[in-house]
Amino acid sequence: MPRVHALDPPGSTGNTLATLPAPSGRAVQAALPMTADEMRQRGWDAVDVVFVTGDAYIDHPSFAMAILGRVLEAAGYRVGIVSQPDWHSADDWTRFGRPRLFFAISAGNMDSMINHYTANRKVRNDDAYTAGGRIGSRPDRATLSYCQRAREAYRHVPVIAGGVEASLRRLAHYDYWSDTVRRSILLDCKADLLVFGMGEEGIVEIARRLDAGETVRDLRDMRGVAFALGASEPPPDDALTLPSFEDVRDDTLAFAEATKIIHNETNAYNARRLAQRHDRRTIVCNRPALPISQPAMDRVYGLPYTRRPHPTYTEPIPAFEMIKDSVTIMRGCFGGCTFCSITTHQGRIIQSRSKQSILDEVRQLASDPGFKGTVSDIGGPTANMYEMKCTKPEVEAICRRQSCVHPTICKLLGTNHDPLIEVMTAARQTPGVKKVLVASGLRMDLAQRSPRYIRELTRHHVGGHLKVAPEHTDPEVLARMRKPSGDDFEQFAERFVTESKKAGKKQYIVPYFIASHPGSDLNAMIDLAVFLKRGGYRPDQVQDFIPAPFDVATAMYHTGIDPFTKKPVFIAKHLRDRKLQRALMQFFKPENYVAVRRALLKAGRGDLIGSGCDALIPTTPPREAIVRRRQHANQPLAGDYVHTVPSVAPGKPAKRQSRHASGAGYRPQRKSTSAPRPRR
């Protein structure tokens, strides 16, 4: 039965959430229903919105389905959650009956292809967003399957796509796993509307306007949405025209130019509407949604989350175990790193919660009987951008700069760490809290502007190890990344060690570096390996560059040129070259000896083989290297390149989705059944 809600004006300007009830004093409620029985226990005969997600349902504000579901609930709507459905049929899409308003579709907190595959295109061993960490609980390109099943279940119910996967694929994009330029996801998933970026404002406005009798076509005036025009519909007159799909598919220079235009139109205050032709149809991408206000942030994070997985789960969910005792204090990032999607998804404008809102959540956490006394992280996309913003709003409104901190920190950027220090101090002084740690990545160039922050951090908020991300040491590679110089890391590390000694603590920095990033060749990686040896760093994990859709670095990888300068960029595309770069970052491991030696000889750096102080490997291979080489020779086909997924029929053995199956499999474009290798 329809219910009438207050309706914001069309094309909302960011005030939709202001009408939600204030969070103070709200008691925790049961998780949103996942079954028809749970729906009926609430006294509902139907739901207004069915939210379909590729992740396990965790009612915690670190997960999109929890935030969006609770925001809709607070706005007065009945929401059912369909988590990790069996996509082989539409049955799971009908469990609540016909939704009164729409299906909300998301692949989950990650792009499903990145969730499934490593940089070497091998199947990952686990899925952090699934109970038990099992793989195969969602399909590749989950947004496509989920939208199509929703359409099959109820033909005339609007289908709204959103989340990271949909956001980053809303226009023509390079897809690393098929090594092709793919068209907008809208044309493949056939959603009526795509909400990109953070979706709280958008999903509430959609619900209210559909509830008031508008059609899904009426919603095309909203900020933060993209949609596909029909073949006979002309593109809007006010849209900035991008090179067409056919042009960017066939011409790398056109792809680079499209990337440049798209990323120049990401500031919500001055971005223009974009249009991109796909054959006879046009994809229209409206201006990004405006950043939400601090009161709106407080309302969103103050909603009555249980902060736990849905009760039906009996196995631990790795992602939840990692963040269950964390507190998000802000969103957005003005770093603009070319390999990162945070800026393009959450926006460049920092949106921060109030100190009171943060402390309310810390107190709620401390009152939980299962809480052990340690807040595992207090941060966000970065640990130290809380309440930082441009000091000249009139300049911010017209700025098209890609990064506020590269090549230098903008003189108009407010970098005061005092509000953050106050929040951290108050949080650790909360009764029941023994320790508050900072586990989010730290922006070192900003931190060095506040000696007080570094002092507070080292004395109170480091659990023995501090994560930082210098990413590389080569100046050209760092410039391609939009990261500060290598000297920045060394200066910060020196200050960190000094302050740790003053505090009487033995603490260590854990630096993260990326292998095979555009611009990084063997010589650059060898220099990085020498730097690691001199500094005594031995990375336990190595991050390989993965070309995620929409990123600037991905455009470099695909085209071999910088989209903004149009200058050529070195790209390590072959798997063998990427393996050499990866091995150099862990030169100290005996099993990497052969690969490191090959890399050094290939680069003409035989001087680093031997017993010199900078030598990376000895002249004689260790026994482990010989054993490893023999094992590798005997197992050339080891490793899965396809998923094992549940069988459609209960009780039958699991099916293996393989490239041999007609019309099935996760790598359908492979033409050979020989030993797996990348297509390029």
Q: pLDDT tens digits, residue range 285-336?
A: 999 999 999 999 999 999 999 999 999 999 999 999 999 999 999 999 999 9
Amino acid identity of residue 289, one-letter, is A
Looking at the predicted structure, is the pLDDT value of residue 656 above 50? no
Which residue matches tokens 């509902």? 44
pLDDT, position 619? 93
pLDDT, position 11? 41
Contacts 24+ apart (CB under 8 A), 442-445: 442/382, 442/383, 442/384, 442/466, 442/467, 442/468, 442/469, 443/335, 443/382, 443/383, 443/384, 443/385, 443/405, 444/468, 444/470, 444/484, 444/488, 444/489, 444/492, 445/405, 445/409, 445/484, 445/488
Give the pLDDT mean for 535-557: 93
pLDDT, position 76? 95
**What letter would DSSP give residue 376?**
-
Going by DSSP bridges, is the β-strand pair 225-228/193-195 parallel, antiparallel, or unpaired?
antiparallel
Judged by DSSP in three states, 560 sits in coil
Q: Which residues contact 639 (CB under 8 A, 6 or more apart)?
A: 122, 123, 676
Q: Rounded to whole angstroms, how far apart are CA atoms 195 and 105?
A: 10
Taking CA atoms, 213 is separated from 3, 102, 103, 219, 220, in Å, by: 11, 13, 16, 11, 15
Mean pLDDT of the chain: 90
pLDDT, position 266? 93
pLDDT, position 28? 63
**What letter would DSSP give residue 107?**
-
Taking CA atoms, 567 is separated from 31, 58, 485, 523, 582, in Å, by: 52, 45, 21, 20, 26
* Residue pLDDT, tens place only, 206-259: 999 999 999 999 999 999 999 999 999 999 999 999 999 999 999 999 999 999
Beta bridge partners of 609: 617
User: With pLDDT > 70 as the criterion, what percentage of the chain qualifies?
Assistant: 89
Beta bridge partners of 413: 390
Q: Rounded to whole angstroms, how far apart are CA atoms 479 and 590?
A: 32
Give the pLDDT mean for 595-599: 95
Looking at the predicted structure, is the pLDDT value of residue 451 above 50? yes
Give the pLDDT mean for 32-61: 97
pLDDT, position 651? 46
Nearest to 582 by CA among 544, 556, 628: 544
**What letter would DSSP give residue 286?**
P
pLDDT, position 670? 41
Give the pLDDT mean for 624-636: 68
pLDDT, position 624? 80
pLDDT, position 172? 98
Query: Residue 207 corresponds to which tokens in the numbers above?
Result: 């619900």
Per-residue pLDDT band for 27 (boundaries 50, 70, 90) equals: low
**Cβ density class 10-34: b for 16+ within 10 Å, e for less:** eebebebbebbeebeeeeeeebbbb
pLDDT, position 649? 43
Q: Rounded to whole angstroms, how far apart are CA atoms 435 and 279?
A: 58
pLDDT, position 658? 38
Looking at the predicted structure, is the pLDDT value of residue 625 above 90? no
pLDDT, position 486? 87
Beta bridge partners of 112: none
Relative orientation angle of helices 294-301 and 64-74, to the nearest 10 degrees: 100
Give the pLDDT mean for 63-75: 96
Give the pLDDT mean for 539-555: 93
Structural domains of the chain, with CATH: 28-285 (3.40.50.280), 325-435 (3.30.750), 462-634 (3.30.750.200)
Looking at the predicted structure, is the pLDDT value of residue 677 above 50? no
Give the pLDDT mean for 178-182: 97
- Please answer whether residues 450 and 424 qualify as being in contact, where contact means their C-beta atoms are separated by less than 8 angstroms: no
Report if pTM > 0.85: yes
pLDDT, position 92? 98
Query: Residue 607 corresponds to which tokens in the numbers above?
Result: 């001087």
Which residue matches tokens 């911010």? 396
Give the pLDDT mean for 615-634: 80
pLDDT, position 635? 54
Looking at the predicted structure, is the pLDDT value of residue 2 above 70? no
Looking at the predicted structure, is the pLDDT value of residue 64 above 90? yes
Looking at the predicted structure, is the pLDDT value of residue 168 above 60? yes
* Residue pLDDT, tens place only, 340-394: 999 888 999 999 999 999 999 999 999 999 999 999 999 999 999 999 999 999 9
Give the pLDDT mean for 471-489: 95
pLDDT, position 639? 52
**What letter would DSSP give residue 236?**
P
pLDDT, position 640? 54
pLDDT, position 15? 59
Task: Report which of residues 304 and 666 the model is more confident about.
Answer: 304
* Residue pLDDT, tens place only, 403-426: 999 999 999 999 999 999 999 999
* Residue pLDDT, tens place only, 252-296: 999 999 999 999 999 999 999 999 999 999 999 999 999 999 999
Q: Rounded to whole angstroms, how far apart are CA atoms 678 and 680?
A: 6
Amino acid identity of residue 212, one-letter, is A
pLDDT, position 22? 63
pLDDT, position 653? 47
User: With pLDDT > 90 as the criterion, what percentage of the chain qualifies?
Assistant: 83
